Amino acid sequence: MKKKLLFNYVKTTAFILMLGFSFTIYGQITVFSDDFATSAGTSFTTASTAIGSSTRWNQTRSGADFGAKIDSGILTMTNDSSGASNVNGWNMGFANTASFISPYNSTLASNPGIVTWTFNMRQQQSNPSGFGSGNYGVAFILAGTTGTTRTTGTGYAVTLGNSGKIDPVKLVSYSSGLGTTNTIIQSNTAGLTDFGNPYLSVKVTYTPSTNTWQLFVRNDGVSFIDPITGSLTSQGTATNATYTSSTLGIMGGFWNAGTRSNQVANFDNVKVTVVVPTITSLSPSSAVAGTSSFTLTVAGTGFVSGTSVVRWNGSNRTTNFVSPTQLTAAITAADILTSGAATLTVANGAAFSNAQTFTIDPAGQPALTLSTTALSSQTTTTGTASSALTYSITGANLTADPIVTAPTNFEVSKDGTTYAATSILARTGNTITGQPLTLYSRIKASAAAGIYLGSVINAATGAISKNVAVTGIVLSAKPTTQATSVVFSTVTSTSFTTSWTNGNGSNRLVLIRAGSAINASPVSGVSYDSDASFGNGSEVGTANYVVYNGSSNSVTITDLQPATTYFIAVYEFNGSGGTEN
């Protein structure tokens, strides 16, 4: 019986306004990266030594005809590097993790934050059979013991190939080489449960504080796409600490093969990052010299219980972990004995955050003290003022009324009702009337669509000015007429064209989902990557993929499966670069 594609679709809807937006700052350091753009030689290396002229990648092998090379933008491993007879065996192209830059630690559990590996891999077999002698299997070793082989070594890897007809991508730990593994997570979402020889993008994350792993996979189709672009689909999370406290000194590709001629495995776009702490605000942001000890609240990201320590001018202070985004620290009277400035950082082991300045005002002189150094991001739509965020201000020894000045496209208020570009704060004697006085900051209704940042300046005669950082996004106006009349044409066994009548937005975004209706909507203020090849565009929610993002009225969608029902949704929107609505 001839197979055919079946279709259904969801009525088009207007783009939905996002209720909130935030600029989330995750400090991370790239500790290793290689896109193999520099050739190490056109010939295969056929010995257990450096791969060609590379100073980063080495090879070990078991079979006499196995070889590796770095050329044409990829790392290639083969079982057939010369005219010699092929034998069952394996080879591995690896880098030593000791060469990764700080703060990476070869003992995974000792890393200061989340470790992320991204890479591409592929092998030629349509049904890879695994890692037994004579079988075919490909792996990327995330972290393994030096001297890992098919039968020796321990560590963690991503593998493809096992007995049977179904070959998922697996995140595994291995105990006696790649031939003996324990599955931690395997690919399980629609369209990603069984692989042969497509080009794959893979991402793995490991959280040291909880020993939690997460696996992400994308089928790139007929060529590699850098896994740091677009979106990959999560295959779930799991905990495993079997080898996270061991020294795991290598990372790299592994190819297990039999005697069939000209069999290769390819790897590309290898990158490893480590999350480090980031400070976003301090509360309070200043103190007067000679005053008493106090508790400092540090807000940010990447804080780790039992690891993160607040540092004052490079010296540790007693620190209390509140959450991954908040710490408190005991600041002594001796720390603020004299006027000046202190440098605040957070250390997660060998990893350090960005620096924030804590001001120590001179005693007996005019001084302003604020409750924070930064406010959360604000969001609105052009033509409407944003909701207000607040902070408090106090003054001491003032000789003139303080003046609060908002940056362009923001406005301030001292009562939450009357807003202006500047606000003058009345004094009672040498302090601010009603202090601590709550001040309000918001984005103006007149602000054009865009992403804004700046600082509210708090100034007083003779006092050191104090700033509060503000950020925000103004979304474009929402379309009022939705797209209509979705139709299908040019249907083949693996593709079709869908077209529609445009609404009054400047652009359209098209989602597709296999097997059931679209179950998530695009989010305003987010830019999505599109790819007409099913499964390669940005993923919205779970298994809803962006196949079109533009101003036209049709798209031809490819790489579909026969006898499968597909659901389509078309969304009108205005804006770009983070102002989409």
Instruction: Give the pLDDT confidence of 278-333 residue by residue, as tens digits.
Output: 999 999 999 999 999 999 999 999 998 888 999 999 999 999 999 999 999 999 99
- As given in the structure block, the two tokens for residue 129 are 């059979």
Nearest Cα neighbor of 560 from 503, 496, 510, 517 is 496
Q: Cα(115)–Cα(164) distance, rounded to whole angstroms?
A: 32
Range of the domain at 564: 6-16+481-573
Q: Which helix (H) or strand (E) holds 157?
A: strand 155-160
What is the distance between the alpha carbons of residues 342 and 279, in angstroms, rounded to a whole number?
15
Residues whose CB falls within 8 Å of the CB of residue 455, separated by 6 or more in sequence, listed in order: 407, 467, 468, 469, 470
Q: Which CATH number belongs to the domain containing residue 215 in this structure?
A: 2.60.120.200
- Mean residue pLDDT of the chain comes to 91
- Identify the CA nearest to 371 among candidates 416, 441, 436, 320: 436
Is 355 within a domain?
yes
| Residue 100 belongs to a domain | yes
* pLDDT surpassing 80 at residue 17: no
- How many structural domains is the chain composed of? 3
Residue 456, beta-bridge partner list: 468
Tokens coding 154: 């321990």
Answer whether residue 226 is part of any domain: yes
Dihedral of alpha carbons 424, 429, 434, 435, sign: positive
Please spell the DSSP secondary structure of 41-53, one letter per residue: -SSPB-SSSBSTT
3-class state of residue 333 by DSSP: helix
* Alpha carbons 33 and 55: distance in angstroms, whole number: 13
Q: What is the pLDDT of residues 348-381, one digit of tens each?
A: 988 899 999 999 999 999 999 999 999 999 999 9
For the record, the structure tokens of 544 come out as 């809803």
β-strands 13-14, 565-573 pairing:
parallel
Confidence at 564, pLDDT banded by 50, 70, 90: confident
Q: What is the pLDDT of residue 9?
A: 28
Residues with Cβ < 8 Å from 313, sequence gap 6 or more? 342, 343
CB of 246 within 8 A of CB of 146? no
Name the token pair of 234.
Answer: 């999560």
126 burial level (CB within 10 Å; 0-12, 13-18, 19+): exposed
Q: pLDDT (tens digit, 9 = 90+) per residue, 80-102?
A: 998 888 999 999 999 999 999 99
pLDDT higher than threshold 90 for residue 536 = no
> What predicted TM-score, i.e. pTM, was given to this entire model?
0.74
Residues 498 and 358 grouped into a single domain: no
Q: Residue 158 carries which side chain, given as an amino acid letter?
A: V
Measured CA distances, 566 to 502, 514, 519, 572 (Å)? 21, 5, 13, 20
Say if residue 210 is in the same domain as residue 321: no
Tell whether 506 and 417 lie within a shared domain.
Answer: no
Do both 336 and 440 map to the same domain?
A: yes
CB atoms within 10 A of CB 153: 21
Cα(554)–Cα(544) distance, rounded to whole angstroms?
Answer: 18
19 pLDDT tier (thresholds 50, 70, 90): very low
Geometric angle at alpha carbon 365, from 362 and 371, rounded to 5°:
70
Q: Let me know whether 347 and 455 are in one domain.
A: yes
Domain end residue (candidates: 253, 275, 297): 275
Which pair of structure tokens corresponds to residue 428? 């009672």
pLDDT for res 190: 87
Q: Are residues 523 and 430 in the same domain?
A: no
For residue 521, count other CB atoms closer than 10 A to its CB. Answer: 17
- CATH number, domain containing residue 495: 2.60.40.10
Residue by residue, DSSP assigns 249-282 as: -EEEEEEEE-S-TT-EEEEEEEEEEEE--EEEEE
Banded model confidence at residue 542, pLDDT cuts 50, 70, 90: confident
Buried/exposed 328-363: b ≥16 CB within 10 Å, e otherwise: bbebeeebbeebeebebbbbbbebbbeebebbbbbb
pLDDT tier at 27, thresholds 50, 70, 90? confident
- For position 84, what pLDDT does the model report? 84
Mean pLDDT value of segment 59-75: 94
pLDDT for the residue numbered 349: 85
CA-CA distances (angstroms) from residue 220 to 120, 202, 542?
Answer: 9, 10, 18
Q: What does the pLDDT read at residue 490?
A: 92
Residue 581: inside a domain, yes or no?
no
Together in a domain, 453 and 497: no
Q: For residues 490 and 420, state if they share a domain.
A: no
Whether 443 and 522 map to the same domain: the answer is no
Flag whether 489 is in a domain: yes
Residue 15's pLDDT band (boundaries 50, 70, 90)? very low
**Would you say residue 580 lies in a domain?**
no
Helix (H, G, I), strand (E, B) or coil at 95: strand
107 assigned to some structural domain: yes
Cα separations (Å) of 374 from 392, 408, 469?
12, 16, 4
Three-state DSSP state, 99:
helix
Q: What is the pLDDT of residue 537?
A: 86
| Helix H or strand E encompassing 32 | strand 28-34
Whether the predicted pLDDT of 493 surpasses 60: yes
Pair of tokens at residue 190: 């629609």
Q: Is the pLDDT of residue 7 over 80?
A: no
Considering the domain boundaries, does residue 24 fall inside one?
Answer: no
Among the three residues 245, 275, 305, which one is the final residue of a domain in this structure?
A: 275
| DSSP letter (8 states) at residue 541 | T
Closest CA relative to residue 142, chosen from 193, 79, 191, 100: 100
Hey, which residues does 171 pair with through a beta bridge? Answer: 158, 185
The answer to whether the beta carbons of residues 327 and 310 sit under 8 Å apart is yes
**What residues contact 468, with CB distance under 8 A and at least 6 apart?**
370, 372, 373, 374, 375, 391, 441, 455, 456, 458
Domain boundary among 275, 300, 324: 275
Radius of gyration of the chain (CA): 29
User: Strand 484-489 vs strand 115-123: parallel, antiparallel, or unpaired?
Assistant: unpaired
pLDDT at 472: 95
Asked whether residue 248 falls in the same domain as residue 327, the answer is no
| Domain co-membership, 218 together with 316 | no
Do residues 270 and 215 both lie within one domain? yes
**Where residue 222 falls among pLDDT bands split at 50, 70, 90?**
confident
* DSSP at 362: P
Using an 8 Å Cβ cutoff, are 524 and 449 in contact?
no
Q: Which percentage of the chain shows pLDDT scores above 70? A: 96
What's the rounded Cα separation, in Å, for the pair 258 and 164? 17
Question: Do 527 and 202 form a contact (C-beta atoms < 8 A)?
Answer: no
Task: Say how far apart CA 148 and CA 130 lie, in whole Å.
Answer: 17
Torsion angles phi and psi, residue 520, rounded to 5: -150, 150
How confident is the model over 456-474, as a mean pLDDT? 96
- Return phi, psi of residue 109, to 5°: -65, -15
State the CB neighbour count (10 A cutoff) for residue 455.
17
